[in-house]
Chains A and B, each alone.
Chain A
Amino acid sequence: MLAMKPEDMQEFEIHQLLEAIYFRYGYDFRDYSKASLERRILHRVQQSDLNSISEMVPRVMHETAFFELFLRDMSVTVTEMFRDPKVFKKLRQEVFIQLKTYSRVNIWHAGCATGEEVYSMAIMLKEEGLLERTRIYATDYNNHSLDIAKKGIYPAEKMQSYTESYLAAGGKASFADYYQAKFGSAKMAESLKEHITFANHNLMKDQAFAEMHLIVCRNVLIYFNPKLQDKVLALFKESLIARGFLLLGDKETIDFSEVKTSFETFSKKERIFRRKMYV
């Protein structure tokens, strides 16, 4: 009974792969939730016609292009404009009023992926007269996603459903005013982009870089284990001004984290938290 069962071997192989990636590139996936990670890794094994996860180790070690592929796999999530319109409506109705009291506003979209939510935010800020005084920092660790986000070009066929979400989020003008449709794609307006800085930032290892009035980080923490969640939330706490806002994903919370006492719940349903004054 000394032989390792195949399924335990798989766990070991993943461990080895993540150690190799950390050693070689400094990207630390060891504190990711393993179940989703395992699915994605197995998908890569299948896509690249490999026989096992172990076969990925020499490839990521020696082929930068293969590592880039791995990074892409790791960041494939589904994003869209005005995802959960009610959340955007709440921001617009209750958080923006607070932001209007500042002469300059910094907003950080941490883990912005391909940028759909960033443009959604810029549109709402514009309609509320806030965009001119706002700088949006949109960051992700994945350069491939960032390139798409920077270009701001999305499939035109999605605009119909985005328009519905835009209206449900309290959109005041015509959604079509914010993009130019051409050859089956929709390019977001320059007037929005001017206020957005896209940059590579890795929540696993990088530091705070500016004082934020609002941090948006939706459906990123669900991919992290509690230890990494704590670390990232501490980074958000450090980055927020006193009374600054934190927006998380629908199923995410700060309730079980170390920073819990530093925040108050601003809106439970929409997962909006607010940094307390002195803690």
Chain B
Amino acid sequence: MTASGFQELAIAALLVVLAAFIPMLSDGYWLSIAVTAMMYIALSTSWVLFSGPTHYISLASGAFFGVGGYLVATGMSDYDLSFWLMAAAAPVVATILAALIGLATLRLSGVYFVIFTLGLAEMIRNIVSWVQNNFLGSRGLYVLTDFTEAHIYWMLLGITAAVYLLGWFVNRSRIGFALRIIGNDETVARHVGINTATPKVILFMTTGFFAALVGAVIAPRYSYIEPNQVFSPELSFLVVIMALLGGSGRLWGPVVGVIPFTLVWEFVAVQFPNQTTLFIGLVFLLIVYGLPHGVVGRLEQLAASVRERRNA
């Protein structure tokens, strides 16, 4: 292990500690933005865990997030189960779902995987609505807890820290090394004897686990839950945008993308509520044509050229 690796970990720890004080300093509007931002940081960091090294664009976040939120709501509303039990069970269900999806699609080319995840949230929403309308009686679900925004914020921060720590270990493990080789060239990876499917499926399961956990934890914030609201395809795209905007080459890249994007997004959503879709489209185009490696990639490029000039 290199010193720079531990240095990175120490900086991350310091940031987590600092971030933990945010609820003390602000409340109301800014805290609610902080909760949203923290939610996206957790989601996009766990997205980068899988999609960063492999370059497989997963649009399944919305589906897993929905599974998390919906299971918590069903369990608490219909079966009087505790929040903690459901928050623990939901990620397990999502992990199994991710394993099935991974086994079916990740053995094939990346395009099939993207396409499959593209409609996933919508399909699960259709099935859930159908089951709810026909067998459970159509009514909304309530998630009533004593959590305040600050509690939710701290839980999300905890999840983010856990994701980061896990990612840090994965990057320095055999499986992370295998994933990087797969991402660079899958044929080469197969030829040097890497079982290409297994690491991909395992990492995809991890992403599913955390996305569902975030969905479960954030559920109390909405109190009233219906399938149309938690299974939102838009969420998957927002996660992808923020992760790519920051830069998916580094585990801490998403943080750099989430914070400015959340602020601008809030502004756009309030000022031009009808133009949010157009805005998402333009940011996607900006990323592809202007920032192919994200803000972090651009900064590293600049740093490299400065170093070169100094050495010359």
**Are A and B a genuine interacting pair, yes or no?**
no
Q: Which residues of B contact A (CB under 8 A)?
A: none
Chain A residues within 8 Å of B, Cβ to Cβ: none
